[in-house]
């Protein structure tokens, strides 16, 4: 996977912290339990000695017989279970509660990378990428339907509800969306509102403008020192949700057209959703991009038409 070393370092640190945290908490719980039930601690000590007892008995043939040790062991275990029962706890509830029970927050099981680690890597890489974007600025609550002309308000209400539902029930199988319409009609506002909710749900979201995306990919392609080495085709293609804002405002070249197509198409092939916001209508998209791209967009995306008067302007006039 094409993530930088610092992403892996941070993921390792987070896992370490999770593990230590769970173990420290478990120690505290266990110590409190021992304080109340000191006999439990004694039994555990004795149990841990029975193994050395068995080894000794086997080697020397002296001391207690293996049979005796086994019986003692069983009796001790039984007594311990009784204490647990009386205290209303289980052996597990006294142990560490890891965030991921599969790998005990180690990041791997039998040498195979755990899903939790992959998820963490993706989230860190996405957080990195989003640090510069205005993600926190928009929310569904701040979206006001009264800015739209009356005859369009109902349609806009449907779009808003769709977006709220979309964000709520988001998963990697969710639809792709194209938001199209003139400037200042709330496309970015709604896309960012979706992003915020989906991020809260623990998914890896990247929000990026088309010019920024294209120029980062171009710099990498031509081996120049990239200002944004974190924006790789790999992460753009694999994050849970990619939001490409202002499609059509990038400098149009054959590279930009194929970059946009490649990102979109590799996401379609992986079955992961993309949200595109653009001022271009279908005819505009056809003029600006390859037929292959437009046919993918119309074939795979829900298209939302935004209409009305420039809300950026309306807000300015009001203030």
Ligand X SMILES: Nc1ncnc2c1ncn2[C@@H]1O[C@H](COP(=O)(O)OP(=O)(O)OP(=O)(O)O)[C@@H](O)[C@H]1O
Chain positions 55 to 114 lying near Zn ion, rule: CB under 5 A, are 100, 102-103, 114
Distance CA(86)–CA(33), nearest Å, equals 12
Q: For ligand X, which residue of 138, 174, 193, 232 counts as binding (CB under 6 A)?
A: 138
Task: Specify the stretch interacting with ligand X by CB under 6 A; choose among 52-60, 182-190, 200-208, 252-260.
Answer: 182-190
Asked if 311 is part of the footprint of ligand X (rule: CB under 6 A), the reply reads yes
- CA dist 140 to 85, 96, 121, 137, 264, Å? 50, 39, 28, 11, 26
For ligand X, give the closer residue by CB, 5 or 318.
318
The item of Zn ion, ligand X, Mg ion, none sharing an interface with residue 259, based on CB under 5 to 8 Å by kind, is none
Stretch that binds ligand X, among 20-28, 122-130, 252-260, 307-315 (CB under 6 A): 307-315
Residues 17-76 that bind ligand X (CB under 6 A): none
Cross-strand bridge partners of residue 178: 276, 303
- Of 182-190, 258-266, 280-288, 289-297: span binding Mg ion (CB under 5 A): 182-190
Residue 179 binding Zn ion, by CB under 5 A:
no
Q: Which is nearer to Mg ion, 125 or 276 (CB)?
A: 276
- The DSSP output letter for 309 is S
Nearer to ligand X, 167 or 235 (CB): 167
Q: End-to-end CA distance of the chain: give it in Å, rounded.
A: 48
Could you give the C-alpha distances from 219 to 79, 200, 209, 256, in angstroms and in order?
68, 32, 16, 12
Question: What number of residues does the chain have?
Answer: 319
The answer to whether residue 209 forms part of the interface with ligand X (CB under 6 A) is no
CB nearer to Zn ion: give 117 or 148: 117
> Is-contact 250 211, C-beta < 8 A?
yes
Q: Which residues pair with 304 in a beta bridge?
A: 179
Nearest CA to 11 out of 113, 156, 94 is that of: 113
The first and second tokens of residue 164, run together, are 């709220």
Contact by Cβ (8 Å): 10, 122: no
Location of structure tokens 């996401």: 267
Which residue stretch of 3-11, 110-118, 157-165, 179-187 sits at the interface with Mg ion (rule: CB under 5 A)? 179-187
Picked from Zn ion, Mg ion, ligand X, none, the partner binding residue 116 (CB below 5 to 8 A depending on kind) is Zn ion
SS3 for 278? strand
- In whole angstroms, what is the distance from residue 31 CA to residue 309 CA? 66
Using CB positions, name the residue nearest to ligand X: 186
> Judged by CB under 6 A, does residue 248 bind ligand X?
no
Considering the complex, state which of residue 188 and residue 274 has its C-beta at the smaller distance from Mg ion. Answer: 188
At 133, list the tokens. 């974007």
Residue 81: which residues within 8 A CB-CB, separation 6 or more? none
- Contacted entry of ligand X, Mg ion, Zn ion, none for residue 241, CB cut-off 5 to 8 Å set by kind: none
User: Per rule CB under 6 A, is residue 288 in the interface with ligand X?
Assistant: no
Q: For residue 114, give the nearest of 126, 129, 125, 99 by alpha carbon.
A: 99
150 binds ligand X (CB under 6 A): no
Note whether 250 binds ligand X by CB under 6 A: no
Using the rule CB under 5 A, is 120 a contact of Zn ion? no
Give me the residues that bind Zn ion (CB under 5 A), please: 100, 102-103, 114, 116
Kindly list the residues in this chain that would bind Mg ion in the complex (CB under 5 A): 187-188
By CB under 6 A, name the binding residues for ligand X. 138, 142-144, 147, 183-189, 246, 277, 279, 311-312, 315
């Amino acid at each position: 996977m094409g993530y930088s070393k610092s992403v892996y370092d941070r993921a390792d640190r987070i896992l370490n912290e999770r593990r230590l945290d769970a173990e420290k908490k478990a120690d505290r719980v266990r110590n409190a339990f021992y304080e109340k039930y000191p006999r439990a601690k004694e039994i555990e000590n004795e149990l841990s000695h029975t193994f050395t007892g068995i080894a000794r008995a086997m080697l020397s043939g002296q001391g207690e017989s293996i049979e005796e040790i086994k019986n003692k062991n069983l009796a001790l275990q039984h007594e311990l279970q009784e204490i647990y029962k009386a205290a209303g706890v289980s052996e597990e509830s006294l142990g560490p509660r890891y965030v991921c029970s599969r790998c005990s927050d180690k990041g791997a099981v039998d040498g195979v990378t755990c899903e939790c680690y992959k998820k963490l890597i993706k989230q860190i890489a996405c957080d990195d990428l989003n640090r510069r974007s205005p993600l926190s600025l928009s929310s569904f609550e701040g979206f006001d339907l009264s800015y739209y002309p009356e005859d369009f308000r109902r349609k806009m209400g449907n779009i808003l509800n769709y977006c709220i539902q979309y964000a709520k029930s988001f998963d990697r199988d969710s639809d792709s969306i194209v938001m199209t319409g003139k400037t200042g009609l709330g496309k970015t506002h709604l896309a960012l509102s979706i992003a915020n909710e989906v991020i809260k749900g623990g998914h890896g979201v990247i929000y990026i403008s088309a010019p920024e995306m294209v120029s980062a990919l171009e710099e990498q392609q031509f081996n120049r020192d990239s200002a944004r080495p974190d924006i790789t085709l790999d992460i753009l293609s694999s994050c849970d949700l990619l939001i490409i804002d202002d499609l059509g405002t990038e400098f149009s070249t054959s590279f930009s057209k194929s970059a946009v197509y490649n990102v979109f198409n590799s996401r379609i092939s992986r079955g992961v959703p993309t949200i595109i916001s653009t001022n271009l209508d279908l005819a505009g998209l056809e003029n600006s991009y390859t037929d292959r791209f437009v046919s993918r967009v119309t074939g795979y995306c829900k298209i939302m038409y935004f209409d009305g008067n420039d809300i950026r302007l309306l807000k300015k006039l009001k203030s």
